[in-house]
Chain A
Amino acid sequence: MLYIVFYFQVHQPFRVKNFNVLKTKSTVEYFDNSLNAAIFNKVAEKCYLPANALFKELIERSDGRFKVSYSLTGTFIEQAKRFRPEVLHSFLDLVKTGGVELLNETYYHSLSSIFDLDEFIEEIEEHAEIIKKEFGMLPTTFRNTELIYFDKISDLLFATMPQIKTILIEGADKILKGESPLYPRVSANHAHLLLLKHYKLSDDIAFRFSDRSWDGYPLTPQRYLSWIKDLRLIEKTGKNLYLNLFMDYETFGEHQWAETGIFEFTKGLVLLALKEKDLQFLWPSEVKDTLNYTPAPISVPNPTSWADTERDLSAWLSNPLQWNAIKTCYELIKKAKEQKRYDLLSILKKLSTSDHFYYMCIKYFQDGDVHKYFSPYSSPEEIYRYYMNILAEIETNLEG
């Protein structure tokens, strides 16, 4: 059997506004609410609402045989409530169909797993809490920010979060070393089942779908399905295979506009796949119950992620601006906790969202373009200035 596991990432950061310490007004707002609202509403129109409607229809039409999983960040849920409650309701409706699994991650979509492990656990708990409160679910599958993973994360979750059984990770070449991502693995400590993203087939939809210079263009459901079916050729002994298609939810309607035919493609693909006898859709948490073999362990000593061509931390941590900004942010988080300054702490946590550091990235060629496309700022220097001036003011507030 070949199982298809869909997981979509749903996230919005609180982007900071043009700020410098010379602005002496005392009741300052550090986040650009109008920009954040505008972006949220744009993405809601182009992606969240139409995509939710599509997946809801597919779940209902298939009698629950079509299944998907989502991870909604805490900052996304906050923004949905504030800028467009309709979006949150639409996700609730979707969850009510029974065809959705919700995953657990860091509330702030942060890099706390690299910088502050206490904060990391705290954010996972905060996130589990809001998912429980808003959707009445207790997640048992974990995905870290941008699929960042290394062995220590499994050790830590095993010690602190016993309900987590499964972790989603990037099927990076450097950890697979030529092996297939279709076979789930167990963590080096044997505590968690690891599902590996099939980046080739995921990115065919997420990145290449509308690329006219790509030899797969134009991609039809039939063609994509034939690629999926071909995957089964590698397995001769009857082991179940798991095709993990992980991507940003904005793929549907935002990164790939509706005009590209992405919605029709998705619908066509799901309907075709539902007709196949030996293809099934699955939630991440169900994988462990369908395995008909003992998965092999895999060791990931150094962090991997799904970002950029390097699949490492370089999207957020490759230049001194990023390092100085993030290091200072976590120093202040520690300080604010010591002083019990919860007012400042909630701002600082929003400042720890990985997107801020992504905007500070200075890389060339293809990935630089991607960073530029996603950044609302004209240059890495611009966001760094605003960001550090905000931290300077918070630091001063913490001094007394």
Chain B
Amino acid sequence: MKVLMLTWEYPPFIVGGLGMACYGLFKALAEKGLKIYMILPTKEQVFFEISSGWEADFPVAKSQQKKQLKPLPLKFYQVGYLAPEGAYLDNLRLFSYQPENTTDFLEKKKLLTTISEEVLKRIENLLNKGNHSLSRVQRYLQNVLEVAKHLEFDLIHAHDWMTYPAGLFLKHLIQKPLVAHVHATEFDRAIGYGHPVVHEIEYLGLNLADQVIAVSKYTAQVIKDHYKVPEEKIQVLYNAFTVLTNEPKKVKKFKSPVILFLGRLTPQKGPKIFLEIAKKILRQYPKKVRFLIAGAGEMERELMFEAASEGFGTQVLFTGFLTRQEVEEALSLADIVVMPSVSEPFGIVALEAMYFGCALIISKQSGASEILKNAYKVDFWDVDKIINIIVDLLNHPEKLKNLQQKAKEEVKKITWDIRAEELIKIYKELFAN
């Protein structure tokens, strides 16, 4: 089976969990014999071919003529988007374009959802009127249509909204099934209603795709409730995790126990709740615990000011953006990891934290909490409960150690290999229809 993967992130070009999830999944699929073509938001019109695990680690950019390009320097569009600014960009006239030799593809399935010209026109309109980042989505769409016409594949698998327009246009052109994978929705990112154009693109993508994949039941529910996608069209495929080190170790760097927040400093991840917890604990037990806030994001100044004005010295530390290596070092020296996400489709960090033997406290509003046993699951807003758990664990080192050990064991069974099998099953069911 050959799959065209459309994704906005892939290591080392990553901002959040999307890139790492794609990497783990594509690698496992390739190891199971699938051939993957991947198109990333590069300025150059290139694709990446992954047909072995090794190629997943070091994907090489190829041009349409399948000639190998120098891997660098590829120029990537920046990820993320801004609020509407009433901008536009050059007109997209791509659906007048007809690819060569696509006739033989057209024979196949007629059961697939069809996409009307009206929808395509609407998408084109949305992207044209959008801001800078929507224009990047539009350029990506152009790239995909150009590159994909020279590739042969059985289905299109699009990851998150930025790639849905490309997926829909391509599906319309070549009549292949489209799988829309949801790693996060605009409701998670914005906590509530976000950018109306993004919502609409998500709505169209999810409803017109032939199969929707959600990273958790929590996300499946959001897709049902907010995007009105019929339940039978959604399948849950949980994430797994990938780490560099095979032997996670605990490092004792500080005398006092370390409580870690690891993630982007955005409202979605709940860093303010973490700081609230830190403040209350440090007021009660000054100098006894160290809180590490690891990650970058727009809330950094606000959080720093709040922490500094308590005068906790170095008890609340900020590390800034972490490389993959540093993420693992942070997890090695943490005793407890708190993930107070307000809305988290999955949260791969939870699995990584357990792998590194950290006791995990995770919000119930996180997809990962659905599959974890040896972790505390708490409502994100229940600060007092989280504090009680932390204090209890710190007062009972045996209990903490026990939990850390169990956590470590538990996640060993969660692998991308299993996820790849589940995904292949989903693919097969799609073709069986």
Q: Which residues of B contact A331 (CB under 8 A)?
A: 313
B317 and A392 form a contact (CB under 8 A): yes
- Residue A328 at the chain B interface, CB threshold 8 Å: yes
A22 part of interface (Cβ distance < 8 Å): yes
A64–B148 Cα distance when bound, in Å, is: 82
From A24, A385, A400, contact of B329 by CB (8 A): A24
User: Which of B40-48, B170-178, B194-202, B249-257 forms part of the interface with chain A?
Assistant: B249-257
A45 within 8 A of B: no
Question: Quick one: which of A363-398 are within 8 Å of B by CB?
Answer: 381-382, 384-385, 388-389, 391-392, 395-396
Inter-subunit contact A323/B308 (CB<8 Å)? yes
A386 shortest CB reach to chain B, Å: 9
A391 in contact with B304 (CB, 8 Å) = no
Q: Within 8 Å CB of B326, what residues of A?
A: 20, 22-23
A382 touches B330 (CB 8 A): no
Residue from A319, A324, A381, A389 in contact with B313 in the complex, judged by beta carbons closer than 8 Å: A324
Q: B290 — which chain A residues lie within 8 A by C-beta?
A: 392
Contact status B317-A320, CB under 8 Å: no
Other-chain residue from A23, A321, A382, A396 in contact with B308 (beta carbon distance below 8 A): A321
The proximity string for B residues 307-332 relative to A, scoring 1 for CB distances below 8 Å and 0 otherwise, is: 11101111001111010001001100
Report A-chain residues with C-beta under 8 Å of the C-beta of B251: 24
Is A21 close to B, CB under 8 A? yes
* Contact pick for A327, options B254, B255, B311, CB 8 Å: B311
- B317 adjacent to A21 (CB under 8 Å): yes
- How many angstroms from the CA of A290 to the CA of B419 in the assembled complex? 89
Q: Is A399 an interface residue (CB 8 A)?
A: yes
CB contacts (< 8 Å) of A381 on chain B: these are: 300-301, 304, 318
Cα-based distance from A20 to B319 in the complex (angstroms): 6
Residues of B participating in the A interface, judged by any CB pair closer than 8 Å: 251, 253-255, 290, 292, 300-301, 304-305, 307-309, 311-314, 317-320, 322, 326, 329-330, 333
CB-nearest residue of chain B to A392: B314
**Are A22 and B319 in contact, with the CB atoms below 8 A?**
yes
Please provide the chain A residues from 154 to 181 with a CB less than 8 Å away from any CB of chain B in the complex: none
List of B residues within 8 angstroms of A328 by Cβ = 313-314
With A320-B309, A388-B314, A395-B314 as given contacts, are A20 and B320 in contact (CB-CB < 8 Å)?
yes
Main SS at interface, chain B: mixed
Interface pair B333/A396, CB less than 8 Å apart:
no
Q: Which residue of B lies closest to A391 (CB)?
A: B314
Chain A nearest CB, measured from B322 CB (Å): 7
A390 to B329, CA, bound (A): 17
Judging by beta carbons under 8 Å apart, are A320 and B314 in contact? Answer: no
In the complex formed, the residue of B with least CB distance to A382 is B320
Q: A382-B320, A388-B314 are in contact. Are A396 and B304 (CB under 8 A)?
A: no
Determine if B322 and A324 form an interchain contact, defined as CB atoms under 8 angstroms apart.
no
Per-residue contact bits, chain A 296-329, to B (CB 8 Å; 1 contact, 0 not) = 0000000000000000000000011101110110
Enumerate chain B residues within 8 angstroms of A22, measured Cβ to Cβ: 319, 322, 326, 329-330, 333
Instruction: Tell me whether A396 and B319 are in contact (CB under 8 A).
Output: no
Q: How many cross-chain pairs have Cβ atoms below 8 Å apart between A and B?
A: 71
Contacts of B255 in A (CB 8 A): 396, 399-400
CA distance A389 to B333 in the complex (A): 15
Nearest CB of chain A from residue B97's CB, rounded to whole Å: 43
Q: CB within 8 A of A324: which of B311, B319, B333? A: B311
Q: How far is the CA of A400 from the CA of B320 in the complex (A)?
A: 27
A104 to B254, CA, bound (A): 40
Contact present for A324 and B253 (CB under 8 Å): no
What chain B residues lie within 8 Å of A23 (beta carbons)? Answer: 326
Beta-carbon contact of B322 and A389 below 8 Å: no
Q: A320 near B308 (CB under 8 angstroms)? A: yes
Contact B253 A396, beta carbon cutoff 8 Å: yes
The residue on B at minimum CB distance from A386 is: B320
Task: Find out whether the CB atom of B305 lies under 8 angstroms from the CB atom of A389.
Answer: no
* 10 A-B pairs with the lowest CB-CB distances in the bound complex, closest first: A320-B309, A320-B308, A392-B314, A324-B308, A328-B313, A22-B329, A20-B319, A22-B326, A399-B255, A321-B308
Contact A323 B319 (CB under 8 A): no
**Alpha-carbon gap, A324 to B309, bound state (A):** 7
- Asked if A389 and B329 make an inter-chain contact with CB atoms under 8 angstroms apart, the answer reads no
Within the complex, the shortest CB–CB distance from B161 to chain A, in Å, comes to 30
- Given A20-B319, A22-B329, A389-B319, also A321-B305 (CB < 8 A): yes
Q: A22-B326, A24-B251, A396-B254 are in contact. Are A320 and B305 (CB under 8 A)?
A: yes
A400: B residues at CB distance < 8 A = 255
CA distance A288 to B41 in the complex (A): 73
How far is B309's CA from A400's CA once the two chains are assembled, in angstroms? 28
Chain A residues within an 8 Å CB radius of B320 = 20, 382, 385
Could you say which residues of chain A place their CB within 8 Å of the CB of B330? 22
Residues of A within 8 A of B308 (CB): 319-321, 323-325, 384
Give Cα distance in the complex from A324 to B313, angstroms.
6
A–B Cβ pairs within 8 angstroms, 17 of them: A21-B292, A22-B326, A22-B333, A319-B305, A323-B308, A324-B307, A324-B311, A324-B313, A328-B313, A381-B304, A381-B318, A385-B319, A389-B319, A391-B313, A391-B314, A392-B314, A395-B313
B262–chain A nearest beta-carbon distance, Å: 11
Bound-state CA distance A316–B253 (Å) is: 31
Docked-complex contact A384 and B314, CB < 8 angstroms:
no
Residue of B nearest to A362 (CB): B301
A112 to B307, CA, bound (A): 24
Which B residues lie within 8 Å of A391 (CB)?
A: 313-314
Question: Assuming A381-B301, A382-B320, A385-B319, is B313 touching A24 (CB within 8 A)?
Answer: no
Instruction: Judge whether B317 and A388 touch: CB under 8 Å.
Output: yes
CB distance from A125 to the nearest CB of B (A): 28
Q: Select from chain B the residue with minimum beta-carbon distance to A328.
A: B313
- Chain B residues, Cβ within 8 Å of A320: 305, 308-309, 311
Q: Which residue of A lies closest to B314 (CB)?
A: A392
Chain A positions within 8 Å of B322 at CB level: 22
Which residue on chain A has the smallest CB distance to residue B293?
A: A385
CB-based nearest B residue for A331 = B313
